Structure 1
Amino acid sequence: MHNSKGQVSENMLPEASSAENSVSLPRRKFLATAATTAAAGTAVAGFPYIASAQTPIRLRFQSTWPNTFIYHEVAEDWTRKVEEMTGGRLQIQMMSAGMVVPGLQVLDATMDGVLDGAHGIPGFWFGKNTAFGLYGAGPDFGMNSMQLLGWVEYGGGKELYREVQEAARVNVQSFLLGPVPPEPLGWFNREINQVSDLEGLRFRTAGLAVDMFNQLGMSTVQMAPADIVPALDRGVLDAAEFASATDDRVMGFPDVARYYYQRSYHMMNNPCEIMINRRRYDSLPDDIKVILNHAAHAASADMHWKNMHRMSQDYIEMQEEGVEMRRTPPAVLEAQLRAWDAVIEKHSAENEVFARVIESQKAWARRVVYWHNEVTPDQELAYNHYFG
């Protein structure tokens, strides 16, 4: 047996007979001590956190999403990975939007210590600094979501993100994760065949994309997710975009709109963000800080796979249920790129860190997207060969 320090105590050993007192007792004490110490060492080697019996660190997070959304689900996936990787030493409760504060107030609540952390997307903080919008909206210069996260990790994007935060006086520890497929152009009740069909439409969008759609002559409206479908149903909105086939279906868009237009340059990439209160993060053990980063990388891969599985299912099922899927006309896509040129020029002139993020993204995309296009054969050609 062991005392509180994990050592063998003499008064815990069996009594020796009087005949053994002079020689056998010291020898038996030595053997008992050696055996117990060896067993304890084996236990510690196999289960390092059981021996320490530490009280788990418990943190309270909130996401910006309702609990029915796939993005809240993947936020919970990250918390499970953290708990598994830390052997239960760190346990994070991920609450859904509104349980403590409204969804779009989680960043301020995290900085103020009302929450220990949160899950959202960088574009939500566009109002604090326009450069946040480039981590999820913007032309992206041909990058897909994995290439954008590659820029974050290896092209200087992570360091620039910290500069954007400093410029906006946002003091949290952030991890960008989760490649998200390109968002559809949106839901419409009339066909879109040319750019002029967009002019004057009351259209819900968010973040930096507001400026781009305004350039196309649309009358943009920003509103909370829960209000979008009712506004479409009442005719307050003519059209709207939100997220993906999975979340759009959950929200009820198929019940209020006829056409679902795919392909758009308004949000080609929209990575998620884990943010942690700075003091809370600094107080964590160094090995747990490393685990938080590795868990974000693992969650990114898992989210990528889960998205392709779930979103493809929901897309096809909506088609089978009568939603008319359309591809955005090339003329509209080209007009979007020209509109982005004007938006980039305006904000780069007004915001120095915005301009530096743009130049960094362009340098990465010029090399990486070029290489990707050079080496990747036409996927649609192969698909049509087998299934077309």
Structure 2
Amino acid sequence: MSIQSVRRKILKLIPAGAVGAFVAACSGAVQNGQNKSAQTTQSTTNSPATGETITLRMQSSWPVKDIFHEIFLDWGKKVEAMSGGRLKVNILPAGSVASATQLIEAVDKGTLDGGHAFPAYWFGLNRAASLFGTGPSFGMDAEMMLGWIHYGGGQELYNELIQTKLKKNVISFFHGPVPTQPLGWFKQQVKAPADFKGLKYRTAGIALDVFKDMGAASQFIPGGEIVSSLERGVIDAAEFSNPSSDEGLGFPDVRKVLMLQSYHQPVEMLELQMNKSKYDSLPPDLQAIIKYATMAQSADFTWKMMDRNSKDLETIEKNGVKVFITPKSILEAQLQAWDKVIAKESADPFFKKVIDSQRAWAKRVASSRLEIMVENKTAYDHFFKEAQA
């Protein structure tokens, strides 16, 4: 009996209403098989072969004891988890391949696939780099500065700076809004702007000029060398970043006065860099994982810093460090110095382009934030001040 005859007999046994469904099911199975085949082909085309792992070789700018190095490691773990192991990140300690200020060169040349740093470290290449985290606040905090990066044109301006003006084969992802950086660590309490006259003081980026205007002999020293420089008397005082970083690096061992709050760096944020050619060579889903893992790390960073900074500040005080709030007269002197620095540096068209963009964003966003967000000191004092007295 022929196959055709068998097929006709089978169809005669199936109720008429079900024949269409039977044929459609058979057709659907064929179509589904074709779709799965196409999906498999597409998946194979856009991703590494089964079992293949891409390893990114990156370097930190931070001493291994610094919480920023820990944050970089946290990001690497997120990338590996989100990619299901298709992306591995080999994070090298600071100085393994390049110094902090030379990291961008190593990433540009492909010696490293990426790195983790502050944009102010490229200040020597173009002074406008300092505006991406170490510029004037215009009433913003670091969260609002990140808002400018993502929604106010900041990312595009940074791409223009790094890729067009500096001609670096580098793509950057901003994250990690750093809490307002302390005025720093001193031998004794700083009470007035005049106390900065002749002070050998470590800071970074364009804040160097702010403190020079206030009379300080300011200079840049990499994070891992600051404590030894204080110990040897190379500098008198210094700021680095936050209570957790400072405590981990050993600042309380060499200075017993910590001045909190300052306008020199209240909008700092972290920068993840990648060699652009390496990034562009990755499948689209892995590119997306790198981008969105950085955003996820930004949130995780914020929460971790709340926890760790508060605990580490308590530890610092318990270990005999006297903590003071920076006097308003010093804050006002910083703002006056910023006026002069902005006026001078704005002679450069690109610097002015960036500063004007930030000012416009801050005027709208900081204003609305001040109106919307309730002042919290009154509530804190109500619930806790009397109990602490």
* Corresponding position: 1:129 with 2:126: yes
The one-letter code matched in structure 1 to 2:243 is: A
Picking from 93, 96, 117, the partner of 1:96 is 93
Q: CA RMSD in A?
A: 2.3
Work out which of the residue numbers 183, 186, 199 in structure 1 matches 2:184: 186
Of the candidates 161, 186, 202, which is equivalent to residue 164 of structure 1?
161
**Aligned-pair CA distance for 1:134:** 0.5
SS in 2 for 1:58: strand
Residue number among 131, 136, 141 corresponding to 1:139 in the alignment: 136
Query: Structure 2 counterpart of 1:252, which letter?
Result: G
Aligned partner of residue 137 in structure 1, secondary structure: coil
Q: Which residue of the partner structure matches residue 294 of structure 2?
A: 296
CA distance in 2, matches of 1:367, 1:182: 21
Match of 1:66 in 2: 63
2:311 aligned to which of 304, 310, 313: 313
Match of 1:327 among 325, 328, 332: 325
| SS of corresponding position for 2:341 | helix
Cα pair 1:138 1:265 within 8 Å, conserved:
no
CA contact (8 A) 2:141 2:267 kept: yes
Distance 1:226 1:64 in 2: 9
Name the CA distance, whole Å, in 1 between partners of 2:375 and 2:351.
34
- Residue type of the alignment partner of 1:211: D
Structure 2: gaps (5+ residues) = 1-5, 7-28
Pairing 1:134-283 to 2, within 5 Å after superposition: 134-165=131-162, 166-283=164-281
SS in structure 1 opposite 2:350?
A: helix
> Counterpart amino acid of 1:383?
Y
User: What is residue 13 of structure 1 aligned with on the other side?
Assistant: none
1:51 CA drift (Å): 11
2-structure distance, mates of 1:59, 1:230:
33
d(CA) in 2 for partners of 1:123, 1:102: 14
Distance 1:52 1:230, change over 3 A: closer
SS in structure 2 of the partner of residue 231 of structure 1: helix
C-alpha displacement of 1:289: 1.2
TM-score normalised by L of structure 2: 0.86
Structure 1 length as normaliser, TM-score?
0.86
- The answer for unaligned runs of 5 or more in structure 1 is 1-22, 24-33
Offset from partner CA, 1:345-373 (integer Å, 9 cap, x none): 11111x21111111111111111111111
- The Cα shift of 1:52 comes to 5.6
* Letter aligned with residue 75 of structure 1: F
- The count of corresponding residues between Structure 1 and Structure 2 is 351
% identical aligned pairs: 44
Deviations 1:47-106 (A, max 9, x none): x89996240111100011111111111111111111111111111111110222223221
Q: Is the 8 A contact 2:100 2:222 kept in 1?
A: no
Q: CA deviation at 1:227?
A: 2.6
Q: Which amino acid aligns with 2:81?
A: E
- Cα deviation for residue 171 of structure 1 reads 2.2
Q: 1 CA distance for matches of 2:301 and 2:269?
A: 11
For residues 243-272 of structure 1, what are the alpha-carbon distances to aligned partners after superposition, in whole Å with 9 as ceiling and x for unaligned?
111111111111111210000011102111
Q: Which runs of 4+ in 1 moved over 3 A?
A: 48-52
Shift of 1:384: 0.6
Q: Which amino acid aligns with 1:176?
A: F
Shift of 1:236: 2.5
Contact 2:53 2:85 in 1 (8 A): yes
CA distance in 2, matches of 1:172, 1:144: 26
Q: SS at 2:311's partner residue? A: helix
Contact 2:63 2:224 (C-alpha < 8 Å) held by counterparts: no
What is the letter of the counterpart of residue 331 of structure 1? S
